[in-house]
């Protein structure tokens, strides 16, 4: 459960910028912070962290807003700049709590590392910009892991085309040279996924993408899995051509628990590759990568679909979290942040 509480405005370090947050979003990564099992172990750890000041946690990974102060060694950004970021430092460790995943962006102010913060696309509102960084950086890293940019074209299969990461990935795949993008989604979203650039939709209600009659074996160059169903890795290897590549996201911490292909399958298909991805600072988050994403936005090749927007209040944020946890969210769930000096965990 989330709750509101008062905390001081952060003090930026020498290489940090203090941002007045105007937009954020709810990501699955925000919901993975409860890491210890069984429950008895978690309850004991929670009590210890509470006593030591490690809880409550200030959650939220995405931020869009305006720089209001800069550290003494900040060189690129200045007060008044409109910026966006995924708080990469918070994805690893927030200084107090096990495992981090506490980006501190569900709040009026956040201190961000300059190296992780980019200028916001001018064509985007703060609400839109606050909904994009994590999913865009994740999908950019995932597509590059499976061969992008493609100079000679490619057939790319994206599993889950209406999710936050998925709908961004469809557009990015096209921008990065894919000539045939196949996606899984509900037939009810056919018009939407085709507007993103998808060439073919497989309705997961009536068809299984892994069937030979739906997608022929050895016919796909790259597969990006955002759905994470069991056996997806092995099924993906059947669809991939020689030298094909599969990338999947993680669905838990501290272990990834991604649906990777079996060791036997990987040995039998030694030319193929499989990778599990979690967006961390050294993997996908940086100002340079945000600038690459911004170029796609500015060129009209990339947009974010905000399926629902909630203000930063106790009940509304709980509704936003519940929507993402339900698996029924369409596109991104955005958070609009006003002027109250309170933070949320």
Residue 118 sits in the same domain as residue 146: no
Q: 92 or 312: whose pLDDT is higher?
A: 312
pLDDT at residue 46, rounded to an integer: 64
pLDDT at residue 229, rounded to an integer: 94
Residue 142 sits in the same domain as residue 271: yes
Residue 7 has pLDDT above 80, yes or no: no
Residue 139 sits in the same domain as residue 269: yes
Q: What is the DSSP letter of 132?
A: S
Residue 150 sits in the same domain as residue 228: yes
Residue 157 sits in the same domain as residue 273: yes
Strand ranges inside 7-137, DSSP E: 16-26, 62-70, 82-86, 109-113, 117-119
Residue 267: which CATH number? 3.40.50.720
Over range 56-79, report the average pLDDT: 94
Residue 71 sits in the same domain as residue 191: no
Q: What are 172-227's pLDDT values in tens digits?
A: 999 999 999 999 999 999 999 999 999 999 999 999 999 999 999 999 999 999 99
Let me know if residue 218 belongs to a domain.
yes
Let me know if residue 93 belongs to a domain.
yes
Residue 339 has pLDDT above 60, yes or no: no
Let me know if residue 199 belongs to a domain.
yes
Alpha helices in 176-302 (DSSP H): 190-196, 232-239, 263-268, 287-298
Residue 185 sits in the same domain as residue 259: yes
Let me know if residue 229 belongs to a domain.
yes
Q: What are 36-64's pLDDT values in tens digits?
A: 556 676 677 667 666 655 666 788 999 99
Q: Looking at 258, 277, 296, which one is the last position of a domain?
A: 277
257 band by pLDDT with thresholds 50, 70 and 90: confident
Residue 236 sits in the same domain as residue 176: yes
The parent domain of residue 85 ranges over 4-132+304-344
DSSP structure string for 286-325 = -HHHHHHHHHHHHTTS----EEEEEESSHHHHHHHHHHHH
Q: Looking at 277, 312, 330, which one is the last position of a domain?
A: 277
Let me know if residue 282 belongs to a domain.
no
Residue 108 sits in the same domain as residue 170: no
Handedness of CA 237, 240, 242, 244 (dihedral sign): negative
Let me know if residue 271 belongs to a domain.
yes
Residue 265 sits in the same domain as residue 180: yes
Q: Looking at 237, 262, 277, which one is the last position of a domain?
A: 277
Which range is least confidently modeled, 106-110, 267-271, 279-283?
Answer: 279-283
Residue 89 backbone dihedrals phi, psi, to 5 degrees: -60, -40
Residue 17 sits in the same domain as residue 49: yes
Q: 264 or 6: whose pLDDT is higher?
A: 264
Q: Which residue has the tokens 């429950």?
A: 39
Q: 180 or 93: whose pLDDT is higher?
A: 180
Residue 340 has pLDDT above 50, yes or no: no
For the whole model, what pTM was predicted?
0.90
pLDDT at residue 342, rounded to an integer: 41
Residue 311: which CATH number? 3.90.180.10
pLDDT at residue 341, rounded to an integer: 42
256 band by pLDDT with thresholds 50, 70 and 90: confident
Residue 333 sits in the same domain as residue 255: no
Number of domains making up the chain? 2
pLDDT at residue 42, rounded to an integer: 61
């Amino acid at each position: 459960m989330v709750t509101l509480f008062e905390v001081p405005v952060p003090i930026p370090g020498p290489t940090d910028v203090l941002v007045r947050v105007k937009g954020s979003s709810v990501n699955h990564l925000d919901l993975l912070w409860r890491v210890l099992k069984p429950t008895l172990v978690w309850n004991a750890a929670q009590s210890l962290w509470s006593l030591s000041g490690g809880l409550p946690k200030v959650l939220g990974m995405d931020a869009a807003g305006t720089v209001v102060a800069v550290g003494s060694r900040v060189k690129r950004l200045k007060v008044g700049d409109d910026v966006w970021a995924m708080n990469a430092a918070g994805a690893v460790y927030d200084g107090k709590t096990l495992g981090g995943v506490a980006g501190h962006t569900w709040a009026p102010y956040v201190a961000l590392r300059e190296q992780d913060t980019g200028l916001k696309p001018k064509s985007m509102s703060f609400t839109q910009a606050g909904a994009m960084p994590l999913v865009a950086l994740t999908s950019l890293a995932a597509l590059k892991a499976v061969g992008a940019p493609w100079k000679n074209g490619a057939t790319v299969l994206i599993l889950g085309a209406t999710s936050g990461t998925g709908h961004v990935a469809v557009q990015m795949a096209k921008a990065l040279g894919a000539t045939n993008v196949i996606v899984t989604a509900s037939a009810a979203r056919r018009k939407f996924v085709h507007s993103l650039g998808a060439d073919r939709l497989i309705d997961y209600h009536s068809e299984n993408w892994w069937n030979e009659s739906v997608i022929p074996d050895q016919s796909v160059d790259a597969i990006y899995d955002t759905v994470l169903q069991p056996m997806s890795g092995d099924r993906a290897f059947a669809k991939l051509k020689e030298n094909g590549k599969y990338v999947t996201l993680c669905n838990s911490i501290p272990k990834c628990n991604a649906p990777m292909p079996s060791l036997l399958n990987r040995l039998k298909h030694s030319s193929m590759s499989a990778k599990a991805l979690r967006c961390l600072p050294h993997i996908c988050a940086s100002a340079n990568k945000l600038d690459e994403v911004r170029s796609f936005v500015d060129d009209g090749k990339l947009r974010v679909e905000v399926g629902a927007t909630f203000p930063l209040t106790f009940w509304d944020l709980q509704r936003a979290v519940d929507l993402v946890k339900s698996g029924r969210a369409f596109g991104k769930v955005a958070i609009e942040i006003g002027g109250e000096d309170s933070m949320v965990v």
